[in-house]
Chains A and B, each alone.
Chain A
Amino acid sequence: MSNQTPYRTRRPLLRFSLPVAVLLFCCSALLAAQENAECLACHNDKSLTGSKKGKPIHVFVDEQKFGGSSHAKLACIDCHTDVAGKELPHNEELAPVDCGTCHAEEQALHAKSLHGKAIARGDVLAPHCKECHGTHEIYSAKDSRSSVSPLKVPYTCGKCHQEGSPVQKQRTIHQDNIIENFSESIHGEGLLRKGLVVAPNCATCHTAHSILPHTDPASSIARKNIAKTCTKCHAEIELVHRKVIKGELWEKQAHSLPACIDCHQPHKIRKVFYDQGMADRDCLRCHENKDIKAKNDGRSLFVNVDDLNHSRHAKTACSQCHSEVNASRVRACETIQHKVDCASCHAEVGQQYQKSTHGMLLAKGDANAPNCKECHGTHRVLGKADQTSSTFATNVPALCARCHREGKKAAVRYTGDQHEIIEHYTESIHGKGLMKSGLTVTAMCTNCHTAHSVLPRSDEASSVNPKNLPQTCGKCHNGIEQQFEKSIHSKLVNNTDKPLPVCNDCHSAHTIRRADENVFKLDIMTKCGRCHEEISKTYFDTYHGKVSQLGYTKTAKCYDCHGAHDILPVTDPRSHLSHENVVGTCQKCHSGANRKFAGYLTHATHHDPKKYPILFWVFWGMTGLLIGTFTVGGIHTLLWLPRALKMKRDKKNKSRVPEEEPSGEEDPEESHEDKP
């Protein structure tokens, strides 16, 4: 109803253009163009709407795009045949366009296909021609603008065949994640990432119009046809699959032989998805033998199948790792030149490893350098989540210890200051948490040093470089890291040139203790004192310092007043010792402390007359008193002693009484006293 109005308003324009059209009709030999112009007179209005089965639809036709399409030379009425010869404006409800008028063959195929049958069933989700090819903007499949050009096909099919679409949800589709899997497959990678238009798209295997289920013998993906379909591109694949298919047998005995998709699953065609198939059995024919040895160095070449089958690589074929095999040889392995390169699959890890100390040593040809298998093993590669894996958290210290224990090959060439690393780690809070408490989340070697980017501390890229250490520890101790990074010790806050402390400067690297252990609490003062030398010395002149020195922790230590990770200069209002906070800080221990109490000089020394004149003079006053008293007392005593001795001698000489007992007791003492 509403579309009546635009028609009426167009009438004057129509009346005006009609004589022009008639004129053009007379002048031109091209009947089609004439008629198309007639249609476009209305249909180039973007707001023009018509109706289809009672529902309003847009009936705008982009003249330019149509002009560039494959159908540019056709007249509108060639397709919209029911408009031909009708008076304009024509009836709004038009019959569907029948592409089969021209494309009879394709239409026939389509009619027989899954899609066509669905249309016949009246399935509203079934695609017609225009669903894939579009309407007025149809281009050749070779034209990159076409929705059926190789690069666009996955998107066009994906409109219906992606997860979450009505087709995928409501119809029985036996494959899932089709588009995702395809885009990750080697075909998808070639097509979508590398832009190789020759790489297969959906239609290459499924055909464009005769899409049929694989259960249909006529289907391009039917078991018996699959080889033919794949060999459209993989023309001489039989040569490589010699043993599997024995050449022509593949096609002749399609039911008894494996089809391509038995190994190369549909939509997931990629080497990592190979099933362990016959090729492995070929290898194992020799390598299952326990006595098999290498010709050159006599090392065992036995492969424990059980190990392999329980490993992470259970589904990986031998040839994927031992990649230089040549399947066309009887001994496929005789063409192998290089050792297994794990990085061909584990590319990212491989790059990390190459930049690590381990990797760089290996590159230099160092005999001590550990390669992948040194830590991960060979055929029995287990994930780090497997308890029996050498890379399982609780096993890692022992793994690293193989080289890093004192006396072992890595430890003997190490020149840094960390010794008995393994022993210290085991005794540390992390080691105890891991080994004794069995907390697999506890930090072990690789948590701090990383697994594959192991670098010495001096390297700026190292996870344990002072620059990166707070973040490394902060991976677990996140709250602490946040506090620390706001503190004066953080390089984010402090712009000094002097070295700033990071986690290990106070907590050590491998001997990390619980912060509530007495040893740690007492040791922290010498740790602070390494940089804050003067201030820590004066601390030991006070009661707090002396009690600490005696080995007791129940007194204020550096961090009790200054804070630990949130340490800030006393001038900072956020500091625990700022004017606002200091009384509260004292009150933590001295309940009832007031502002005057906080005036206690916690770092006072009586040796500094400028800073603490009163203390200085009190001390020297007391010392003067002390020296004076002892001088007088000392002189008095020293003068007295010889005279007293003489007096005693005189008395003894005078008396000469026969009382031997008491004098005998004193005689040796006396003569002893006489000597000086």
Chain B
Amino acid sequence: MEPAAEQNNAKQYQRFTRLNRLLHVVMIVCFLSLASTGMTLKFAYTSWAVFLSHLFGGFESAGYIHRVAAATMIILFITHITDLVRRKRREYGTWRAMLTGPDSMVFNKKDLQDLLGNFKWFIGKGPRPDYGRWTYWEKFDYFAVFWGMMVIGSTGLMLWFPVFFTLFFPGWLINVATIIHSDEALLATGFIFTVHFFNTHFRPEKFPMDLVVFTGRMTLEEFKEDKPLEYEALVNAGELEKHMVDPYPEIVVRVIRIFGWTALAIGTSMVILIIYAMVFAYQ
């Protein structure tokens, strides 16, 4: 569809800000780095883990990458929160207005209705629900990251600085932190590389990948179809034109697509390796 849009050179709807897109790209790089380096330890008993570990230049260098990525991710998280605070001040005034408005990431009653409506649609007992700016699964992905940041980040810090943390906590808490860190990371990678990949990229109408998070742009046609409520609201408010921008030139899109494909390929292969490790090589 993008080539068609480009041919037409029609303006496109801008869904994500430059910062949001940047954060997502950085997050992808960090997340893949963290996952791949971390998995070498978790599945140390497999030959692929040994191979990967050597590819990273040894466990120490893999650990170094892991920590740099983790630190970057923490900075990224802080940047996002700062951005939220700034936007609240600029666009909403109060937290309440921001968190309860139609464009809020917070779950609300409509998300529950949409979830039930969607299940009905799955089994052919109703129409596909009309979604607003954020669907419930997008909100779930978003908060999953929040949760993951807290759980994996805090336990990760404990493993990073065990000598410091055992000044206050018993030694066995490091063992507990190991289990939580490792299993939560498995959950995060597993979820992102399967459910998130399907929900956003592999589902038939987006297959093989949705570039919106990188370009920030989607065709008006797609926008109407995907987020009809948001579209209507913008049309009614007469603000749609404000959000329409020129599409990226072909070369930029191609670079973005290469990046996206790489990320998808890494993620998908990691799922395959994990399944192999857990099902066939488990010790």
Do A and B associate with each other? yes
Which among B4, B166, B183, B184 is the interface contact of A597 at CB below 8 angstroms? Answer: B166
B183–A601 contact, CB under 8 A?
Answer: no
Contact A633 B191 (CB under 8 A): yes
Contact flag A597-B58 (CB < 8 Å), given A606-B179, A618-B179: no
Interface size of A in residues (CB-CB distance below 8 Å): 55
State which of A540, A592, A629 has its C-beta within 8 Å of the C-beta of B163. Answer: A592
Contact B121 A669 (CB under 8 A): no
Interface-located stretch among B24-32, B45-53, B236-244, B260-268: B45-53
**Which single member of B128, B170, B172, B208 contacts A647 (CB below 8 Å)?**
B128
Q: Which residues of B contact A545 (CB under 8 A)?
A: 44
A521 CB → nearest B CB, Å: 14
Whether, in the assembled complex, A673 has its beta carbon less than 8 Å from a beta carbon of chain B, the answer is yes
Residues in B with CB closer than 8 Å to A542 are: 175, 178
A-contact bits for B39-64, CB 8 A (1 contact / 0 none): 01110110001100110001110000
- Contact across chains for A552 and B59 when beta carbons are under 8 A apart: yes
Q: Give 1 or 0 for each of B111-131: 1 = CB within 8 Å of chain A CB.
A: 000000011011110001000
Interface centre among A547, A594, A662, by most B CB within 10 Å? A547
Which one of A185-193, A432-440, A619-627 is at the interface?
A619-627
B44 smallest CB distance to A (angstroms): 4
A615 & B176 in contact (Cβ 8 Å cutoff):
yes
In the bound complex, do residue B183 and residue A626 qualify as a contact, i.e. CB atoms below 8 Å apart?
yes
Contact A666 B207 (CB under 8 A): yes
The residue on A at minimum CB distance from B178 is A543
Q: Contact size class for B?
A: 35 or more
Query: At the interface, yes or no: A645 with Cβ under 8 Å from chain B?
Result: yes
C-beta contact mask, A645-676 vs B, less than 8 Å → 1, else 0? 10110000000000101100010011001000
Residues of B within 8 A of A626 (CB): 183, 186-187, 190
Instruction: Tell which of B45, B167, B195 touches A634, judged by Cβ atoms closer than 8 Å.
Output: B195
Does A16 sit at the interface, judged by CB under 8 A? no
- State which of A551, A604, A669 has its C-beta within 8 Å of the C-beta of B207: A669
Q: Does A414 contact B (CB under 8 A)?
A: no
Main SS at interface, chain B? helix
| Set of chain A residues within 8 Å of B118, measured between Cβ atoms | 640
Report yes or no: A661 in contact with B4, Cβ–Cβ below 8 A: yes
Please state if B187 and A625 are interface contacts (CB–CB under 8 Å): yes
- For A605-621 the 0/1 string (1 means CB < 8 A from B) is 01000001011001100
Do A549 and B44 form a contact, CB below 8 Å, given A597-B162, A622-B184?
yes
Distance between Cα atoms of A599 and B176 in the complex (Å): 12
The reply to whether A630 and B45 contact each other, CB–CB distance below 8 Å, is no
A interface, over-half SS: helix
Contacts of B50 in A (CB 8 A): 549-551
Q: Does A408 contact B (CB under 8 A)?
A: no
Considering the complex, which residues of chain B in the window 94-136 have a beta carbon less than 8 Å from any beta carbon of chain A?
A: 118-119, 121-124, 128
Check: B199 CB closer than 8 A to any chain A CB: yes
Cβ of B171 < 8 Å from any Cβ of A? yes
Which chain B residue shows the least CB distance to A622? Answer: B183
- Give chain B residues whose Cβ lies under 8 Å from the Cβ of A551: 50, 53-54
Q: Is the CB of B53 within 8 A of A550?
A: yes
**A593 CA to B164 CA in the complex, in Å?**
8
Contact of B41 among A546, A599, A633, A659 (CB under 8 A): A546
Once bound together, how far apart are the Cα atoms of A599 and B169, in whole Å?
A: 10
Contact A643–B163 (Cβ < 8 Å): no
Query: In the complex the two chains form, is B175's CB within 8 Å of A547's CB?
Result: no
Contacts A546-B44, A662-B4; A600 near B199 (Cβ below 8 A): no
Chain A residues closer than 8 Å to B58, beta-carbon distance: 552
Distance between Cα atoms of A633 and B121 in the complex (Å) = 16
CB contact list, A563-596 vs B, under 8 A: 590-594, 596
- Contact call A629/B167, Cβ cutoff below 8 A: no
Nearest chain B residue, comparing its CB with the CB of A666:
B207
**What residues of A have a CB within 8 angstroms of the CB of B44 in the complex?**
540, 545-547, 549-550
A648 to B204, CA, bound (A): 7
Q: A55: CB under 8 A from chain B? A: no
Interface hub of B4, B137, B162 (most chain A Cβ within 10 A): B162
| Bound form: Cα–Cα A619–B181 in Å | 11
Known interface pairs A543-B41, A550-B41. Does A637 touch B195 (Cβ–Cβ under 8 Å)?
A: yes
- Does the CB pair A550–B40 fall under 8 Å? yes
B174 touches A600 (CB 8 A): yes
Query: Does any Cβ of A come within 8 Å of B205's Cβ?
Result: yes
Which chain A residues lie closer than 8 Å to B40 at the CB level?
A: 550
Task: Note all chain B residues with C-beta closer than 8 A to A596.
Answer: 166-167, 169-171
Question: Is residue A285 contacting chain B, with contact meaning CB distance below 8 A?
Answer: no
Q: Closest CB of chain A to B19's CB: distance in Å?
A: 28
Output the least CB separation between A320 and chain B (Å): 67
Whether the Cβ atoms of B171 and A600 lie closer than 8 Å is yes
Kindly list chain A residues whose C-beta atoms are within 8 Å of the C-beta of B195.
630, 633-634, 636-637
Q: Is A641 engaged at the interface, CB distance under 8 Å to the other chain?
A: yes
Say which residue of A601, A647, A662 sits within 8 Å of B204 (CB atoms): A647
For residue B203, CB closer than 8 A to chain A, the reply is: yes
Interface residue? B269 (CB, 8 A) = no
* Closest beta carbon of chain B to A671's beta carbon, Å: 11
Q: Which residues of A contact B162 (CB under 8 A)?
A: 590, 597, 600
Choice from B4, B178, B205 contacting A659 with Cβ under 8 Å: B4
Give residues 180-230 of B contacting A (CB, 8 Å): 180, 183-184, 186-187, 190-191, 194-195, 198-199, 203-205, 207-208
B171 engages A673 (CB within 8 Å): no
Bound Cα distance A659, B283 (Å)? 53
CB of A475 within 8 A of chain B?
no
Cβ B45 vs Cβ A601 within 8 A: no
How many angstroms between the C-alpha atoms of A354 and B57 in the bound complex?
A: 59
In Å, the complex CA distance between A626 and B188 comes to 9
Assembled-state Cα–Cα distance A625/B178 (Å): 16
How far does the Cβ of B281 sit from chain A's closest Cβ, in whole Å? 12
**Is A554 part of the binding interface, using a Cβ–Cβ cutoff of 8 Å?**
yes
Contacts of A634 in B (CB 8 A): 194-195
Residues from chain B with a CB closer than 8 A to the CB of A640 are 118, 122, 198-199, 203
> What's the nearest-Cβ distance from chain A to residue B221, in Å?
10
Tell whether A385 is near chain B: CB-to-CB under 8 Å: no
Q: Which residue of A lies closest to B208 (CB)?
A: A669
Interface membership of B1, Cβ < 8 A: yes
B-side residues, CB < 8 A to A, are 1, 3-4, 40-42, 44-45, 49-50, 53-54, 58-60, 118-119, 121-124, 128, 137, 159, 162-163, 166-167, 169-172, 174-176, 178-180, 183-184, 186-187, 190-191, 194-195, 198-199, 203-205, 207-208, 283
A-B contacts, 25 listed (Cβ < 8 Å): A540-B283, A543-B159, A546-B44, A547-B59, A550-B40, A552-B53, A555-B59, A593-B166, A596-B169, A597-B171, A600-B166, A600-B171, A618-B176, A622-B184, A625-B187, A630-B190, A630-B191, A633-B194, A636-B137, A640-B118, A641-B198, A648-B205, A662-B3, A662-B4, A670-B204
* 11 extra A-B contacts, CB within 8 A, seeds A540-B283, A596-B167, A622-B179: A546-B44, A601-B172, A614-B172, A615-B176, A615-B179, A619-B183, A630-B191, A640-B198, A640-B199, A643-B122, A673-B204
List 3 A-B pairs, minimum CB-CB distance, nearest first. A599-B171, A622-B183, A639-B122
Residues of chain A touching chain B, judged by Cβ–Cβ distance below 8 Å, are 540, 542-543, 545-547, 549-552, 554-555, 590-594, 596-601, 604, 606, 612, 614-615, 618-619, 622-623, 625-626, 629-630, 633-634, 636-637, 639-641, 643-645, 647-648, 659, 661-662, 666, 669-670, 673
